[in-house]
Chain A
Amino acid sequence: MSEVSRYVKPSPEVFTVELTEAQRSALSFAALCEAEALETGREKHEPEVQEAIASLREARRILEQGRQP
């Protein structure tokens, strides 16, 4: 089981996050680093890791551009 999967609790709920510019930038950078770390890890082919990577990329895209309708 992946280390990340301990934190992942899939939920259909949607959170509205209020972030300052600095917080948004920090979160985006953290998502990028985490995604890169998962992609270079040994468990990168695990389905849970792939799901985590996809979530992180989507989250980073939202942080950078906002969610597309």
Chain B
Amino acid sequence: MSNLRSVPVLHQQHGGLSLQAFAQREGLTLGEVKGCIKRGKVLGARKDARSKHWWIYPPAKLLERPRSRAKSQEVFPEVVAELPGLLPCGSAVAVEAGAKSGQPGQHAPQVKAEGIFPPAKLVLPLLFDASAPLVYRSPAVQSSLRAIREAAARQHREGIHYLRLNGGEFAQLYAALGRERSRIRKLVSRGLAAIGELRVSDSAWHKLQAMCQQGRLL
């Protein structure tokens, strides 16, 4: 491992262990340690981007099983059971160690995506029934909504005139309004009347016309 010692030590590498030191501490060979790193079983292993050498940073632990595999077994145990050859994602360990050390430019190990499958069923249960929202069952909310509806109805009805006309009066008004609309339309086209007057006449005309068509009688 003399070649490792010849590599200049960067200031980010203070506190990290070389592969040789880590192997000696754990009683393993260099090849075994590299294999453990690639399987994601070494917590804190990072590959230096410039020297291309592995360094082990705190907590520098050798795990019995990869952390990524442990997490995946907790979430999707049936998927893991069906896929015994599923490879752990070793980059998760490296990314976590890199995030803790705060060093830039870390190497991202390859991730084998062939073993990643979406869950075949919903993992999270549906917490509430969308057809019956609980918020509308609250008496306080219901009273508030009732007050809002009543206030809106009062506001809508303010300024509304309820007038009772007999058939003759209604027909005369209907005819008079029709001629008035024609006059106002001509005045608007000449620029002598505002368009708002024509709109009001049109709305009243449409209302009377709808009443005639629907036969709203009392």
A residues neighboring B (CB under 8 Å): 4, 7-27, 29-31, 33-35, 37, 51-52, 55-56, 58-59, 62-63, 66-67
Interface residues of B in 161-188 (CB under 8 A from A): 161-177, 179-180, 183
Known contacts A16-B162, A19-B207; 10 further A-B pairs (Cβ under 8 A): A8-B171, A11-B168, A16-B216, A22-B200, A23-B204, A26-B201, A27-B173, A33-B176, A55-B169, A56-B169
Q: How many residues of B contact A (CB 8 A)?
A: 33
Show 20 residue pairs from A and B whose CB-CB distance is below 8 angstroms, ordered by the A residue: A8-B172, A11-B168, A14-B165, A17-B162, A17-B163, A18-B160, A21-B161, A24-B161, A24-B163, A26-B177, A26-B204, A27-B176, A30-B176, A31-B172, A34-B176, A55-B168, A56-B172, A56-B173, A59-B169, A62-B169
Residue in B closest to A8 when the chains form the complex, CB atoms: B171
Interface residues of B in 77-110 (CB under 8 A from A): none
B residues neighboring A (CB under 8 Å): 159-177, 179-180, 183, 197, 200-201, 203-204, 207-208, 211, 216-218
